[in-house]
Amino acid sequence: MKLAGKNQAWERHQKHIPTIDEEGGKLWGCFRSCFLQSAAPYTEGIGYKILKNDLGMELREAPGHTSCGAIGYHGDVSNLETQMVVAARNFSVAHHELGVDNLFSFCVTSFANYTEMIKLWEEEPEWREYTEKTLKETTGREFWIPHVSGGRPSVVHASDVFFANREKLAAKAKYSLKGVKAVDHIGCHYGKIFPGECLGGAEFPQVLVGLLEAFGAEIVDYPERRHCCGMGFRQCAFPENRDYTASSVYKKLKSLKEAHPDCHLILTNCPGCTVFLDAEQGTIKEVLEEEFNVSILDYAQLTGLLLGYDPFKDCGLNAKVVPIEPLLDKIGIPYDKSKTAEERRRPF
């Protein structure tokens, strides 16, 4: 029964993502993430390397692409109308300046934001007219809607692109996750706002599990698997609110530890989860003297490690709170043992 339920959810929540074997599947426009470029820039760095070097993609981005502004939308400095026109501007730049039809974003909040605007334009023609008119008035640009998934108005997330090409990536991998227990943590803004745009749906999302399985990991389940990491925009951004973030992380990791004390790997696709599920383990260790030692890697970092990229220089595991070496040892990934942990992380 359990499996049947999962399979049904999986069948109901499919979306097409062009692979590199399909026409147009090698040329992508991509939107960088404000959060990643500020708090974890190396994750986009390794993502880029894999998509270009290992999948042979051409990635185009314009100097004039801006933030989608959604941190400010969920942080209450802009209106929905602002988001519509900024989204339309970024789409227009990608299509009319760079000549791309397929677009992905590195941030799940951008993914949700762009998806929300596209659905709004589809469902309410008067808002589409407003956007077209305001875009023209403020920028002189022409309105254009991307149709990335299955020919319908849509964009996808970078982790979708990894998922779609997972067999190719697994075939190139130098290392495997055989014998390694792992679990996914899906960003809320990837899965919960528009479950129909989430591969597998909100309850059984497949985007990261599919990647982990392709690399041979054993997937575990735990009660609080779908609980938010507590990033919360204004909650994580202002130190005096961050008890909410730390509490959410504690609730999740305590639940994982009770169910699977031998699982030390969580795979993420959201910038916020990637940073705070790791960082708050440091707070918890200091405040409660409780250690979880669960490595939090995003889909690009993990894929990079398994493809043989350097854990520090390429995958950027210099700045994690939880030491990465135990996981590297478990997988069998070599690193310079003549150096101390600090020397490996501090090249200058």
Partner 1 sequence: MGTLFNELKQDILYQHGMNACLNCGVCTAVCPAAEFNDYSPREIMNIVQSEDDEQIEDLLKSDKIWYCGQCFSCKTRCPRGNNTASVVLALRRLSIRHGYFAESEKGRQQLFAKRVFGENVLKRGYTLLAENITPAHFPELGENWEYYYEHRAEMRQWWDVPMDLENSPGSHRMIPEKDLDEVRRIYQKTGAIALMDAVEKGMEKKLGSKAEVEKYWQTWLETGDSRNYEIPDRQ
End-to-end Cα spacing for the chain? 56
137, 151, 262, 289: which one binds partner 1 (CB under 8 A): 137
In the range 90-119, which residues lie near partner 1 by CB under 8 A? 112
Tell me which amino acid residue 72 is.
G
Q: Cα(7)–Cα(229) distance, rounded to whole angstroms?
A: 26
User: Is residue 282 close enough to count as binding partner 1 by CB under 8 A?
Assistant: yes
Q: Compute the half-sphere exposure of residue 155: CA atoms within 13 Å on the CB side of its CA.
A: 34
> In terms of CB distance, is 219 or 319 closer to partner 1?
319
- Say if CB 297 and CB 305 are below 8 A apart: yes
The minimum distance between CB 191 and partner 1, in angstroms, equals 8
Output the furthest CA–CA distance in the chain (Å, rounded): 65
63, 151, 171, 289: which one binds partner 1 (CB under 8 A): 63
73, 215, 292, 299: which one binds partner 1 (CB under 8 A): 73
Tell me which amino acid residue 46 is.
I
In the range 138-197, which residues lie near partner 1 by CB under 8 A? 138-139, 141, 188-189, 191-193, 195
The minimum distance between CB 90 and partner 1, in angstroms, equals 10
From the list 190, 188, 189, the residue with the least C-alpha distance to 198 is 190
26, 60, 254, 330: which one binds partner 1 (CB under 8 A): 60
CA quadruple 289, 290, 291, 294: dihedral sign: negative
User: Is residue 298 close enough to count as binding partner 1 by CB under 8 A?
Assistant: no
The minimum distance between CB 56 and partner 1, in angstroms, equals 18
> In terms of CB distance, is 216 or 282 closer to partner 1?
282
- Say if CB 118 and CB 145 are below 8 A apart: yes
- Give the CA distances from residue 89 to residues 114, 166, 254, in Å, rounded to whole numbers and listed in that order: 11, 32, 43
DSSP, collapsed to helix, strand or coil, labels residue 226 as coil
Q: Cα(10)–Cα(282) distance, rounded to whole angstroms?
A: 36
18, 28, 45, 143: which one binds partner 1 (CB under 8 A): 45
In the range 216-275, which residues lie near partner 1 by CB under 8 A? 226-228, 230-235, 237-244, 246-248, 251, 275
19, 82, 176, 255: which one binds partner 1 (CB under 8 A): 82
- Candidate segments 149-157, 171-179, 300-308, 310-318, binder of partner 1 by CB under 8 A: 310-318
> In terms of CB distance, is 147 or 313 closer to partner 1?
313
